[in-house]
Amino acid sequence: MSRATIDWRADIEAAAQRIEARAPGFLRETPLWRLPGAALGVQTPGVEIWLKLEQLQTSGSFKARGMMNRLLANDIPAGGVIVASGGNAGIATAAAAQALGVPCEVYLPEVSPEAKRARLRALGATVVVGGAAYSDALAACLERQRTTGALLTHAYDQPEVVAGAGTLGREIERQAGGLPDAVLVSVGGGGLIGGVAAWFGQRSRVVALEPERAPTLWRARQAGEPVDVDVSGIAADSLGARRIGAIAWEIAQRHVPEALLLTDDAIRASQQWMWKELKLAVEPAAALPLAALQSGAHVPGAGQRICLIVCGANLDPATLN
């Protein structure tokens, strides 16, 4: 079946039911915190902000949803599971593997912070660090997988991973009892925005947000197809994919009308603001939605309900001071 013909909402429903039935208690229902826009520095009258606090998810990020769905949807060989990651997908895979009692091997790029490496080791994963960027770690991971036969979990470009991420959108709609006018989503390889946009479709406006120094979706739209880009900057450890995933690209073409770029300074300022004003310790990737509002990159309409997905918290707390 072509990815373009997948019934994504049905797959997302199936993912949610699969995880609930076969790994009960693994995922947390993370809070949906509703605040007046003025409390976050938004000047447009009557705006309500929904902060989806997914940094409180198992493993510290939304990635737990897709990784557990990937593992449960496949037979796991004796070699266990293997993944290349900037950190969050690896941590989520390791957490899912630990919960299911199977071995896990994680390949990380050198840019990955020590805090994420330590978390992986604590989860019992075998950690291999090498290569300057995620793409280098992925190449080494694929070579190793050919030797061991382990189940490969891709950080963002597998249908089960995208459908698992889509359970986040499903949860938002159920918690709110309705739809937001817009959902602001950080983009790296595209697993999160692929899943969220697949769930909401045209019912809510899904806005893609990327750092200026890691513009995978933005550059793909310029070129008319996914292309490799140079990645660096404050959020490169978690938004460091060099190319938008094929699945996310297809979904974004249909359901994501807007892609915005943000500076590292804007991202850092909002990350610090979230810590100082809300006492939310989040990684840079999770600050992009608020940065889009506080920098004026995205201006909501009067009275709109805007959902910001706070996607992860795997950071060294010392970096917040």
The per-residue DSSP string of 129-153 comes to: E-SSSHHHHHHHHHHHHHHH-PEE-
Residues 229 and 241 in one domain: yes
Residues 145 and 174 reside in one and the same domain: no
Are 202 and 299 in the same domain?
A: yes
The last residue of a domain, from among 131, 152, 173:
152
Order across the sheet with 32-36: list the strands. Answer: 32-36, 48-53, 305-310, 182-186, 205-211, 258-262
**Domain's final residue, options 114, 130, 152:** 152
11, 39: one domain: yes
Say if 212 falls within a structural domain.
Answer: yes
In the prediction, which pLDDT does 28 show?
97
- Is the same domain home to 298 and 228? yes
Which of 99, 32, 33 minimizes the C-alpha distance to 68? 99
Q: Is 54 helix (H, G, I), strand (E, B) or coil?
A: helix
Same domain, 208 and 169: yes
Asked if residue 88 and residue 45 are part of one domain, the reply reads no
User: Tokens 């990020």 sit at which residue?
Assistant: 61
The set of residues, in sequence order, having a beta carbon less than 8 Å from that of 284 and lying 6+ positions away, is 211, 234, 235, 238, 267, 268, 271, 315
Q: What per-residue confidence (pLDDT) applies to 111? A: 81
Shared domain check, 55 and 77: no
Domain end, chosen from 128, 152, 176, is at 152
CA-based end-to-end distance of the chain: 50
pLDDT for the residue numbered 114 = 84
Residue 157 resides in a domain: no
CATH of residue 88's domain is 3.40.50.1100
| One domain for residues 194 and 57 | yes
pLDDT tens by residue, 217-253:
999 999 999 999 988 888 877 777 889 999 999 999 9
Strand order in the sheet with 104-108: 126-129, 104-108, 81-84, 151-152
String of DSSP letters for 92-106: HHHHHHHHHT--EEE
Name the token pair of 97: 């593997």
Neighbours of 193 (CB within 10 A): 33
- Spell out the long-range contacts of 266-272 with Cβ–Cβ below 8 A and sequence spacing 24 or more: 266/291, 266/294, 266/295, 266/297, 267/211, 267/234, 267/235, 267/291, 268/234, 269/294, 269/295, 270/294, 270/295, 271/320, 272/320
Domain count, the chain: 2
| Residue numbers of the domain that contains 88 | 63-152
Q: Compute the C-alpha angle 116/32/37, nearest 5°.
A: 105
Question: For each of the chain's 321 residues, which pLDDT tens digit applies?
Answer: 455 568 999 999 999 999 999 999 999 999 999 999 999 999 999 999 999 999 999 999 999 999 999 999 999 999 999 999 877 899 999 999 999 999 999 999 888 888 889 999 999 999 999 888 878 898 999 999 999 999 999 999 999 999 999 999 999 999 999 999 999 999 999 999 999 999 999 999 999 999 999 999 999 999 999 999 988 888 877 777 889 999 999 999 999 999 999 999 999 999 999 999 999 999 999 999 999 999 999 999 999 999 999 999 988 787 887
- 186 with 116, same domain: the answer is no
